Amino acid sequence: MRALLATSIGVTCATALTLPLAAPAPAAPVHAPVAQAPAASPVEPAGSTQSLPLRPLTGAAPRATGTPTAPTNPAAGQGLLRRDAQRFSLVGVIWDDADAELHGSVQVRTRATGTTHWSGWQSLETHNTDHAADSGSAERESGRVRGSTAPLWVGDSDGVEVRVRSESAGARSAAAALPSGLRVELVDPGEDPEQPRAEGGPSAVTAVAPSPGTTTAAQPGALPEAAGLTMAAAESSAVNADLAPLGATMIQPLSKAESEEQAVVGPAAKPFVGPRPGIVTRKGWGADESLRERAFAYTSTVKAAFVHHSATGNNYTCAQAPSVLRSIYRYHVKSSGWRDFGYNFAVDKCGNIYEGRAGGVSKAVLGAHTLGFNTNSMGIAVLGTYSSKNPPAAAVNAIAKLTAWKLGLFGRNPKGKVTLVSGGSGKYKKGAKAKLHVISGHRDGFATECPGIRLYKKLGTARTSSAKLQGR
């Protein structure tokens, strides 16, 4: 995700806006009766964030080696000396101004919980502004967004040490000032939630098809107590009501014929909808729906899919993937100030597919993943870092399966090209027309290393497989 060039970011007038939950849609639709929370309010999944300020490091000796360091200019070096902490599994660094770049290095080392074992120093990706809401969008202009590194999954830990150093710092050279308000965020994903599956026939909730720039939410009705959902969780589940029962933890896969039959698309798209893959819902991975903004934001259509790597490291098991997702989600919302999880979908190293930003997996949900090109696109994050490590074949296959279905719903050919208008990025000026692959890497829309060169080289395979699944 390292930005390869620095440019000014233009302001875009996004076509997809977010409205307050209570705002009426432009053409008032008739809402079918939907669910209300049960009398005994269910508890959202636990989790927490410790936010610790970084301080100037002047002449401190790293405890890892005991080797003294040269005196550090306080403006050029900050950190946190080795200390105990409450349990956490993901680390990131944030600062006050979302427009400020951190030109330098950020490294952390952590202690495994209940041991005396400290890891070696690990680097965090500092150029993360390209994974964000578009300039001028309601999300970006909310006043809550902060600058941030990419987060790093470190596993169950109870000790931390941090060092941040300006890239131009040296014994005889002046160093560029680091951003103000540097803090380290220690995220605990909480325990995995219980996974009761809703039983019976179709859900009692019917979601209204959204219009671009509008939001939808569940309307009062009768919610089965067996679903065990808060109102926010019921709303998140209700927008998938045509695909799975209310409170389902998994959207089940369908054959190609079944997918085409269910798809609400134009006649020209019908023959080219790939089989719907199984998708773990937000409830399935334990999203705390009280964290996100209650309204959903939509864009007009889905013309392209941008593939990313999460840059959170590869030291996770597939059983831990839901915990990784809950940690990233909390970091995006609580630490970085975003409205929700940034990506529309996530894929783990075993090829499991997860629902990302709330709003409905079959709908054109506005994400925050590819600066300048969030409108009329979707973002898929493969959990891990693939700059020097090959992505598993299962993950590449999952990209193909997901795009064959989702792009097919909107009549897109995975092997084709599409023209998108830039909202302003580090590669295309605001208003510039960019001709991109329908399945693109993040680096195609922004000057960045994301999704890592090893994953980027596999996108041709994903395009071919995706088109074949569509019957092309």
Residue 5 has pLDDT above 50, yes or no: no
3-state secondary structure of 342: coil
Candidates 19, 54, 7; CA nearest to 297 is 19
Rounded-to-integer distance, Cα 240 and Cα 359, Å: 8
* Pairing of β 104-112 and β 304-309: unpaired
At 64 the pLDDT is: 45
Is the Cβ–Cβ distance between 442 and 381 less than 8 Å? no
319 Cβ neighbours under 8 A, 6+ residues apart: none
Side-chain half-sphere CA neighbours of 224 within 13 A = 17
Of the chain, the percentage scoring pLDDT greater than 70 comes to: 77
pLDDT of residue 213: 54
Whether residue 191 contacts residue 236, with contact meaning beta carbons closer than 8 Å, is answered with: no
CA-CA-CA-CA torsion for 35, 232, 13, 378, nearest 10 degrees? -90
**Mean pLDDT, residues 417-424:** 92
Residue that wins the pLDDT comparison between 314 and 128: 314
420-429 in b/e burial notation, b at 16+ Cβ within 10 A? bbbbbbbbbe
Is the per-residue pLDDT at 85 higher than 80? yes
Task: Say which amino acid occupies 257.
Answer: A
Mean pLDDT of 450-469: 97
Res. 212 pLDDT band, cuts 50 70 90: low
Query: 186 vs 84, 156, 434, CA distance in Å?
Result: 12, 11, 38
User: In the structure, what pLDDT confidence band is assigned to residue 172 with cuts at 50, 70 and 90?
Assistant: low
3-state DSSP call for residue 30? coil
Mean pLDDT (the chain, rounded) = 83
In three-state secondary structure terms, 468 is: helix
pLDDT band per the 50, 70, 90 thresholds, residue 13? very low
Contacts of 34 (CB under 8 A, 6+ apart): 204, 205, 206, 207, 218, 219, 220, 221, 223, 234, 238, 241
48-188: in CATH 2.60.120: yes
β-partners of residue 157 are: 88, 112
Enter the tokens of residue 130.
């390209």
Q: Of 394, 379, 235, 303, whose CA–CA distance to 15 is shortest?
A: 303
Cα–Cα distance measured from residue 441 to residue 455, given in angstroms and rounded to the nearest whole number: 9
* pLDDT given at position 135: 77
Give yes or no for residue 407 having a pLDDT over 70. Answer: yes
Determine the average pLDDT of the residues in 49-76. Answer: 64
Task: With H, G, I as helix, E, B as strand and everything else as coil, classify residue 147.
Answer: strand
Cα radius of gyration (the chain)? 22
Q: Give CA separation, 140 vs 97, 114, 147, 214, 345, in Å.
A: 12, 40, 11, 17, 20
pTM of the model: 0.83
Query: Is residue 370 scored above 80 in pLDDT?
Result: yes
For residue 106, the model assigns a pLDDT of 98
Identify the residue with better confidence: 4 or 52: 52
Tens-place pLDDT, residues 239-287: 999 999 999 999 999 999 999 888 766 555 568 999 999 999 999 999 9
Is pLDDT of 196 > 50?
no
pLDDT of residue 153: 99
The region of weakest confidence among 87-91, 99-103, 274-278, 450-454 is: 99-103
238, containing H or E segment: helix 231-238
164-184 average pLDDT score = 80
Q: Give residue for tokens 């490091």.
A: 57
| 151, 312 contact by CB (below 8 A) | yes
The 10s digit of each residue's pLDDT in 116-147 is: 999 999 999 998 777 778 778 889 889 899 99
- Give me the pLDDT at residue 440, please: 97
Sign of CA dihedral 360, 365, 370, 373: positive
